[in-house]
A and B are shown apart, each in its own frame.
Chain A
Amino acid sequence: MNRTLCTCGVVLVMSMALIGMPGCSKKSVQSGGDSQSTQGMAKGGGADSSKSGVGSFPDTGVQSGGGGLRGLDKNPSEERVGSGTMLAKVDPSSSAERQMDEVRAEQAASAAAGLRDVLFGYDSWTISEDGRQALSRDAEWMKSNPSALVKVEGHCDERGTAAYNLVLGEKRAKAARNYLVELGVGANRLSVVSYGKERPSCNEHAESCYQQNRRGHLAVKTGK
């Protein structure tokens, strides 16, 4: 029995917006999926970096050793002590508020659309018969709402490591995406993202809760 780790469900986030796929304000991002050589991505920083997908890098090697320790002294001179590693204060940005508003809007819109979740078994990214039925209804909705863009989110329960659950979540999201494509939904209307075990819908340490988190979740995106 290969039940394991996370259990990723899949969430379909429907984007009502008409914008193209990834794209965000600052750096353009290639959508994943197709093969493309990464050799020769050597580009300097600055404008080129957004094309290659690689930003600028500071020198992070260790310059000095000793850790600022001066050793014991029979006639010690006074050393000024600070708070250790200097830490900047967090900007009271409006980003957090905005993101949370957008998450709530997505959730409300997907609930209104009546999209179905997709369930996955523990340690499995195979779509079950129930999952196929749910996705069939979702595909119908997408066909009757041809301007909607759908984000397929993979979610996991808390078991297993955070890192591996992100990979599993992606496998599950892609399995659901592929099935929707099989049903005739245009691939260009679908994107995938994995949230691993980082956005559980239920926080109890119980099988019933794990079940819910393994379940996919549908959300409709509203703005942007």
Chain B
Amino acid sequence: MTQVKLISAWFGGALLLAGVVGILESGAADVFLEATRPDFQKISLAVAGIHNAGGPDWLGGRIEEVLKKDVQRSMVFDLVDLPSLGIQTPDVGNGTGVGSKAVFKQAAEKGVSVLVWGKAGLKEADKNADVNMEGFVYDSGSDEVVGGKRYAGSPSVVRQMAHRFADELVFRYTGEPGIARTKIAYVAEQGGARELFVMDYDGYDARQLTADGFLNLMPQWSPDRRFLIFTAYRNRNTQDIDMIELATGKRWTVISLGGLNITPALSPDGNFLAFASSHEGNSEVYRLDTRTKAIQRLTVNPSGDLSPSWSPNGRELVFVSDRGGGPQLFLMGSDGLNVRRLTFEGDYNAAPVWSPRGNWIAYVCRTHKEYKLCVISPDGQKRMQLTTGPGVDDSPSWSPDGRHLVFSSTADGKSHIYMIDADGKDIERLTFQGTHNSAPSWSPAS
């Protein structure tokens, strides 16, 4: 269904050799492109079991399963299956025993760079007692157990323990926080209305945030992850831009100018809100200074201008305009100057989102009457189509590490939310409930 080479993990083989930390962001574009090189290699990692240490039978296996998927999605590691290499996975405890040395040696000889294992159990016999999890990491490069983690929490957060451990692994080997603890905000049908929800990045643990009984649309995260900003229809007749604080549920209106007020996007530093509004006639892109409340109109055009998305350094915006007929992507400075058209292929290009790495802009492109995902470099030189086949793809949103996109698609009939690698490979469906899930927005990394 999807192919296409292009990006992927942006840092190259140097990481692997060093097996360590410290991928710097400056000049990210150049580094990123190395991932298109065929010699890019992930770090081979194997999970030698999360063993049960007193507790329900499912406990260790559940954590292990979540951890393995996180490791795969990180795209930093190549997950190796030990049994298929003929390596058994006994419980090696804390890795200091004689038996563990043999296992390490075996794994290292088979090319495993990082070996991970652990155990999990209940603190007490009571099934409501806290879960304890320990995880350990053996690094074949240094031939030692480089460290571990100990977690405690209620049985309802065992997935979070696995996510946290996975992020520690990514952090250890890349210096980045990982994405396993990120969230996805989205819109779901609820009794005929469309309400805001938030779920874990892997589609689990969905929670409802609003219950208006009408329309709440297109949520976007604040840079600090504490708020969502979105379009709300107050009393069905007036379209405003609202914010909601996730921890408290506190909600208020931030833009109520009249007319259409849509596609809000906070700048990476949180100091500006870009949005589209038709309160002066037709839809135009505006920029609000969130400290002074001054509003600056950035586009002046009798056509529709909308969907601003910030470059990671906050200096530019990509947006949609139908000033040439159909919708196309344009770039401009964050002051509205230096407008230039970015897309020329096809007669419908919309919903742009600038990658957190800066080097790609994902968007919806229409090809052969289908609405699919494309990416284009900000200089317009490189363009790739990521998805193919039937169904309307919409609302792409980047993972904070720039290695994945989440989007909605009607490819399976009803609208659901999917994750796709930024190179157009693996597609994973994230939602299975309900009749309509749309407008996903990936949270920043914590």
Contact = CB atoms under 8 A, between A and B. Distances in A.
Contacts of B288: 54
Given A35-B280, A72-B172, A224-B235, A80 B348 contact: no
A99 B213 contact: yes
Contact of B149 (A59, A72, A98, A159): A72
Interface stretch (B33-41, B156-164, B331-339, B418-426): B156-164
Interface centre among A34, A41, A72 (most CB of B within 10 A): A72
B406 interface: no
Interface in B327-386: 327, 347-348, 350-351, 364, 366, 371
A76 B148 contact: yes
B85 interface: no
Interface in A10-56: 22, 24, 26-27, 29-36, 38-44, 49-50, 52-56
Given A55-B254, A91-B249, A74 B145 contact: yes
A98 B364 CA distance: 36
A82 B177 contact: no
B363 to A, nearest CB: 9
A129 interface: no
A191 B235 CA distance: 14
A85 B348 contact: no
Interface stretch (B42-50, B51-59, B98-106, B216-224): B216-224
A59 B237 contact: no
A209 B348 CA distance: 22
Interface in A172-211: 191, 193-196, 198-199, 203, 205
Given A84-B181, A87-B198, A61 B223 contact: yes
Given A29-B256, A30-B258, A81 B160 contact: yes
Given A55-B252, A161-B394, A35 B281 contact: yes
A30 B326 CA distance: 30
A30 B223 CA distance: 30
Interface in B233-263: 233-240, 243, 245-250, 252-260, 262-263
Interface residues of B, number: 129
A81 B254 contact: no
Interface residues of A, number: 96
Given A22-B238, A67-B177, A198-B217, 18 more contacts: A31-B258, A33-B281, A38-B286, A54-B288, A57-B293, A58-B245, A69-B164, A72-B149, A84-B183, A87-B209, A95-B213, A96-B190, A96-B211, A160-B366, A163-B263, A170-B259, A193-B238, A196-B217
Interface of B: 132, 134, 137, 145-153, 156-157, 160-161, 163-164, 167-168, 171-172, 177-178, 181, 183, 190-194, 198, 200, 205, 207-215, 217-218, 222-227, 231, 233-240, 243, 245-250, 252-260, 262-263, 266, 269-271, 273, 276, 278-283, 286, 288-297, 304, 306-307, 320, 322, 325-327, 347-348, 350-351, 364, 366, 371, 392, 394-395, 410, 413, 415, 435, 438-439, 443-446
